[in-house]
Chains A and B, each alone.
Chain A
């Protein structure tokens, strides 16, 4: 079955810096890759996603890249702000949606 690995587990950046979170997946049949943000005590919220026929997608300060050959995808957050502090999850969808173990991002003012 699908296995998703996510790194790093924690990430601390200064406000205004960029943050990058990386994920790898095992099932070459996976074709949909969403990213979720979860604030403390709340439900995961979809922030951006990418499909297998696209290499990169951008939405304001957030971008996601996908390398299908290498089976890895990444989340890039530019000009980080304190409200970006949260846990971020990547996921890969083949026949079911499997999540990575999460990255705790802390943005210091």
Chain B
């Protein structure tokens, strides 16, 4: 098992550009989430999914879209990048409500 795979690892965008952060897991996990991590603010939930075809908003969803067409993939789309979206993004997945999340290695995004 590769676990949770995120691509790319690093990305620099110009303000207004769009891009998709990829996340894939091969553990047949039902639940997947996207978090952003900023200094002093911990991990904040952007969007999450409880299964294929089902997504919901987290704490900070504005400026981001997600879809879950398969169990394995949960891409995060930035529609029009802003400097405030400079952050480290983590994708995570888990099986069942009472199990810990497994995190991907993260994507460090800089918007200039």
Instruction: Please give the residue numbers on chain A whose beta carbons come within 8 Å of chain B beta carbons, in ascending order.
Output: 1, 6, 9, 31-32, 34, 36, 42-46, 49, 51, 89, 91, 93, 96-102
Q: Which of B40, B101, B106 contacts A46 (CB 8 A)?
A: B101
Task: Check A99–B43 contact: CB distance below 8 A.
Answer: yes
For B56, the chain A residues whose CB sits under 8 A away are 96
**Could you tell me the distance between the alpha carbons of A28 and B10 in the complex, rounded to whole angstroms?**
39
Q: Which of A36, A46, A89, A96 contacts B58 (CB 8 A)?
A: A96
Task: Check B90–A34 contact: CB distance below 8 A.
Answer: no
Distance from B36 Cβ to chain A, minimum over Cβ atoms (Å): 11
Contact status of A51 and B48, CB under 8 A, knowing A44-B43, A98-B59: no
Is B33's beta carbon under 8 Å from chain A?
Answer: yes
Which interface class (under 10, 10 to 19, 20 to 34, 35 or more) fits B?
A: 20 to 34
Task: Check A43–B103 contact: CB distance below 8 A.
Answer: yes
Q: Can you name 12 extra interface pairs (CB under 8 A) apart from A1-B59, A31-B98, A43-B105?
A: A6-B42, A9-B40, A32-B98, A34-B101, A43-B103, A46-B101, A49-B100, A51-B98, A89-B43, A91-B43, A96-B45, A101-B41
| Majority-rule SS of B interface residues | loop
A-B contact pairs, 15 of them (CB 8 A): A9-B40, A31-B98, A34-B100, A34-B101, A36-B100, A43-B106, A44-B43, A46-B100, A46-B102, A49-B98, A96-B48, A96-B58, A97-B101, A98-B45, A102-B42
Instruction: Please give the residue numbers on chain B whose beta carbons come within 8 Å of chain A beta carbons, in ascending order.
Output: 33, 35, 40-45, 48, 56, 58-59, 90, 97-98, 100-106
